Structure formats: structure tokens, C-alpha cells
Amino acid sequence: MIMNSAMANPRVADLLIPNTKNWHMENICLLFDNVSAYHISITPLLASVQHDRVVWKFEKNGIYSVRSAYRNIMEMNSNTHKQKINGD
């Protein structure tokens, strides 16, 4: 949860020290409450990951489609409905 608006329109890149795999704790502490800053700080930054990419987790190939989004929504609604029937 962002608590401080000192940095207008921050990006994830603003939370990292440039050209390193280290968190920029000063910026993180400016932007987030203590609990959120702690959780960010313990999130590992893997050296093996060199480039970010967008991945749709509901498809094996990682590519978003309206069809897969619709299927996911229908599954979520079905699971919610089943929970209500079972009394959960």
C-alpha cells in the first residue's frame, strides 16, 4: 500500500538500484508503510532474471487472450458458486 506521494507516478524500476539486483530501500521507505516495505525488502531479486516480460499466468504459453480471461472468470464464478452450495 503506497503511503507517500513524494514520487509522482513511481515505477518498479524506481524501487531498484540501477544496474544492480538490489532494492533501493530509501525509495521503498518513502513510498510504502513499514509492513509493505519489509515485505518488498525480503522479496528476492534473482540474478538469473535478466529481462522482464509480461506473462498471463492462466495460459500455459503465457499469452493473454479474451478466451482465456473469460474461461478464468467462469471458473472463478463456478468455484464461488460451489462454495456457497457446500456452505463454505
List of E strands, the chain: none
Cβ pair 1, 36 in contact under 8 A:
yes
8 and 34 together in one domain: yes
Considering the domain architecture, whether residues 60 and 46 belong to the same structural domain is answered as: no
My answer on whether 38 and 78 are in the same domain is no
How far is 13 from 17, CA to CA, in rounded Å?
8
Over its length of 88 residues, how does the chain's per-residue pLDDT go in tens digits?
555 555 678 888 889 998 888 999 999 999 999 999 999 999 999 888 777 778 889 999 999 999 999 999 999 888 775 666 665 5
| Domains contained in the chain, number | 2
Same domain, residue pair 15 and 29: yes
Name the residue range of residue 25's domain.
Answer: 1-50
Q: What is the pTM of this model?
A: 0.52
Compute φ and ψ for 79, nearest 5 degrees: -65, -40
45 and 63 share one domain: no
